[in-house]
Chain A
């Protein structure tokens, strides 16, 4: 199929190799540990860009690698990407080096931190590349653990509570996923885990609609916890507030996408009829996510919590788009997944910048910072405007596509959802005003400006946000074909 060698395997497992390398560096060499982990995130980025260039949007799964893994159960090591996974893989390999840079200030047990981080990267990339349901599940679980440690060991004051809450919620979801996986495997004959074939195989073995709907529901629970969709969202603010900056970036930038990606990659293609059956519920949940998330964000005084709740609202747009089954809405949803990844990553990085300097995140505790730190204020305004969907920035395109496509299917709910835009603009601008405008808070007369390392983490993301806001076609082209294929299956 492809002549580029085991590209996906390399992308996925190079970070794991880095983890092994780090284990052999003495823990005293803190600088070296950070440098080595940065170095080991870079090849994946380079290969990710290569994948982006060589990817042919008109063909289905590409860069396929398939080898028997556990023949006794017909389990394969089956990797491949299509238009849906390519943006996610690229997002992951892009954010990971940025996050290593953003973690430069961590000193305590840095060896373990970097090892866990690289393991996490492998887990995430594996989820986005796996085409075997069992392999998907293994990567899905593999990711859970480093995340738990990263929050629980390097988190804030209530880290233990946040970590265990995250862990229990996700584990709760995973159990349902596992049950669905086993049920599907038992229902197919010959027993199979091949995600690209399961729909046909299930139809052949003639399982009933009840079975399919139940499996869909079980998987939905697993994915909804990750999104996080109401009412499984309460772990997110806690986890975000306690997690270190880089981990918040990963959490919001990539982990949340796994929920929606899982629905698009696993649930929809395998149970297309159940997808339609469940759409009315999903669209209601999307509405709740948007309105309730925005209202909650508005009420926050902690800057990080505000961004966390805004994530919940923004993931609501993704769900709205996914439940509408029109090409525009679906494209918008996938595009929003990518854009939210870059924009929220910026937001969390910016929160980290100010927290490292002021050691608090109380929105009302600042004031007039624009005069003291103009560059920081400038980048923050770009991120805030992107988050509230200002035309010319990437967030606008995806949200507009979602609303445009969702209206024909769900007119009333779409109208209600647009209130989210107003609310988002409200809390974003209000927050910006409280932190950056007005008279300068005397306490922060000596607040240092954003430094070069932090700029390096932010500028690439800002460029992507700007570029895709003006010229989104390259990105849309990547997944448009895959999205239409998926819709053909459902409709």
Chain B
């Protein structure tokens, strides 16, 4: 009783998370008191919260806070910026999208903000406990968001599938964490790394630890939809409201990768010989399966679902580049990937209730709304890895990292599947520009905040594509 130490809280270390939570609470209060039916108030509050949180990420001091449960280093600050950007763009797209369905309610934005807080906690976690906390906060918000269209069967199906399979994956994850705890006697990453580097227990003689790591990989592999843990992706991506799909594909995926980086690359880099092969196979399978399945899709959201799976494969390649090269490439790709993926899903959300339509029904979009067709083409080309766009340098860094670390074969598979991907990305462009719509539609109007989001995402894609060094400089500071 006497030696109870007052824990060092360090509120400033979780400033971005606090600001977002505050915005969420304010939106709830506003909803109750003022009856914000059109969602304008919720949108403004969300945007304000996200921007303030973004500014707050620049206060990273590298200190561990809350008894070493969270860390406020450059890595977590950069990850926070990825999450916040994704959430910001998704928020802007959401209001006009939801208004179109008469569902622009404050609770949507609250859940979106809370999901973002979850991601940020995951990115900053220095302990299994906080990581799990973040993951659950993220997942539970997303389960609800996926089923936000209560009267829509597909949306309900998406939420249900996501929840059941997500619960399974979480089970694996927690089980894995328990095994690792059993082997090392701590849940803190720094303490684990310390125990391992001190040489006791000798690593190979602890199969429990390996088993635990395998389970963790499976659990997080579900979150980032690596093959073979990807089967939920097409249904959930298709059924969920499209802005939610965008968040699942970008922010949530980035958070999963962040957790993997913290665990595998920072805490257990010494045991690469054990988990390296697993990542090699997962990356290979994910690239091949994702691209091949995307090739044969006829529905636009399903195609992007598989394309998102394929991108997970490219990202997984980063884990094979030893040391910091891989993490840097991964971070850059996460930035690029966030812009272009939120971009495509943003266009899908706003292209006049075409979200569950066939790709062929995008015919003539270039006439209905030239702006939408143009930015869509830009995002598609970036996803395909065209020079001059963010996707090109993203892939370049990832593949170059793999080649440098001696994984020439894997890089070749990456290049070949990238070429394959040109086919299905270009097909959308062909429909938008070169085919005429069968039944003429009228010109499509675009609401203000949606347009802003797409312009910002397009600017991001182009700026990263022409001056990758702008962001590379801050990535270099991570280590």
Contact = CB atoms under 8 A, between A and B. Distances in A.
Interface of A: 27, 68-73, 109, 111-112, 137-139, 141-142, 145, 149, 152-153, 159-160, 163-164, 167, 171, 175, 178-179, 182, 186
A16 to B, nearest CB: 10
A111 B370 contact: yes
A43 B367 CA distance: 32
Contacts of A72: 469, 472, 476
Contacts of A138: 387-388, 392
Contacts of B426: 164, 167
Contacts of A167: 426
20 contacts: A69-B469, A72-B469, A72-B472, A73-B400, A111-B370, A137-B387, A138-B387, A138-B388, A141-B386, A141-B387, A142-B387, A142-B388, A152-B430, A152-B433, A152-B434, A153-B433, A160-B430, A167-B426, A178-B415, A182-B400
Contacts of A27: 370
Q: Choose among A72, A109, A171 the residue with the greatest number of B CB atoms under 10 Å from its CB.
A: A72
Contacts of A112: 366, 370, 374
A27 B367 CA distance: 11
Contacts of B232: none
B422 to A, nearest CB: 7
Given A109-B366, A112-B370, A167-B426, A145 B434 contact: no
Given A112-B366, A179-B415, 13 more contacts: A70-B393, A72-B469, A111-B370, A112-B370, A112-B374, A141-B386, A142-B387, A153-B433, A159-B434, A160-B430, A160-B434, A167-B426, A182-B403
A153 B415 contact: no
Residue picked from B392, B403, B433, B476, most chain A C-beta under 10 Å: B433
Contacts of A141: 386-388
A27 B434 CA distance: 18
A220 B15 CA distance: 57
A171 B476 CA distance: 33
Given A72-B472, A73-B400, A153-B434, A175 B415 contact: yes
B462 to A, nearest CB: 11
Contacts, number: 54
Interface string B454-479: 00000000000000110010001000
Interface in B388-446: 388, 392-393, 400, 403, 415, 419, 422, 426, 430, 433-434
A33 B370 CA distance: 15
B115 interface: no
Interface size class of B (residues with CB under 8 A): 20 to 34
A71 B419 contact: no
Nearest to A186: B403
Nearest to B367: A109
Is chain A's binding surface mostly helix, strand, loop or mixed?
helix
Interface of B: 366-367, 370, 374, 381, 386-388, 392-393, 400, 403, 415, 419, 422, 426, 430, 433-434, 468-469, 472, 476
A68 B469 CA distance: 10
Contacts of A159: 434
Residue from A109, A139, A145 with most neighbouring chain B CB atoms (10 Å):
A145
A108 to B, nearest CB: 10
Contacts of B370: 27, 109, 111-112
A236 to B, nearest CB: 20
Nearest to B399: A182
A145 B419 contact: no
Nearest to A145: B386
A430 to B, nearest CB: 36
Nearest to B373: A112
B456 to A, nearest CB: 16
A181 B128 CA distance: 44
Contacts of B434: 152-153, 159-160, 163
Contacts of B387: 137-139, 141-142
* Closest 5 A/B residue pairs (Cβ): A138-B387, A141-B387, A153-B433, A142-B388, A152-B434
Contacts of A149: 433
A175 B468 CA distance: 22
Nearest to A160: B434
A145 B374 CA distance: 13
Contacts of B476: 72
Contacts of A145: 381, 386
A186 B374 CA distance: 37
Scoring A112, A139, A159 by chain B CB atoms within 10 A of each residue's CB, the highest score goes to A112
B388 A70 contact: no
B387 to A, nearest CB: 4
Of the listed residues A138, A142, A159, A186, the one surrounded by the most CB atoms of chain B closer than 10 A to its CB is: A138
Contacts of B367: 109
A389 B438 CA distance: 51
A203 B386 CA distance: 32
Contact of B469 (A70, A142, A164): A70
Nearest to A140: B387
Contacts of B433: 149, 152-153
Nearest to B396: A73
A94 B426 CA distance: 32
A140 to B, nearest CB: 8
Nearest to A141: B387
A153 B403 CA distance: 38
Contacts of B472: 70, 72
A169 to B, nearest CB: 13
A308 B239 CA distance: 50
A141 B395 CA distance: 15
A171 B419 contact: yes
A111 B400 CA distance: 38
B233 to A, nearest CB: 28
A112 B371 CA distance: 10
Nearest to A122: B388
A153 B373 CA distance: 13
A101 B330 CA distance: 47
A153 B377 CA distance: 13
Contacts of A68: 469
Contacts of B374: 112
Nearest to B430: A160
A72 B426 CA distance: 31
Contacts of A111: 370
B433 to A, nearest CB: 5
Nearest to A185: B400
Contacts of B388: 138, 141-142
A113 B225 CA distance: 40
A179 B416 CA distance: 11
A152 B374 CA distance: 15
Contacts of B392: 138
Given A153-B433, A159-B434, A171 B422 contact: yes
Nearest to B427: A164
A312 B356 CA distance: 47
Nearest to B433: A153
A193 to B, nearest CB: 12
A111 B476 CA distance: 40
A149 B426 CA distance: 11
A175 B419 contact: yes
Contacts of B469: 68-72
B269 to A, nearest CB: 21
A488 B433 CA distance: 50
A149 B386 CA distance: 14
Contacts of B415: 175, 178-179
A164 B425 CA distance: 13
A215 B468 CA distance: 28
A153 B426 CA distance: 13
B455 to A, nearest CB: 11
A221 to B, nearest CB: 14
A174 B367 CA distance: 32
Contacts of A153: 433-434
Contacts of B419: 171, 175
A31 B472 CA distance: 43
Nearest to A138: B387
A141 B422 CA distance: 13
A17 B181 CA distance: 59
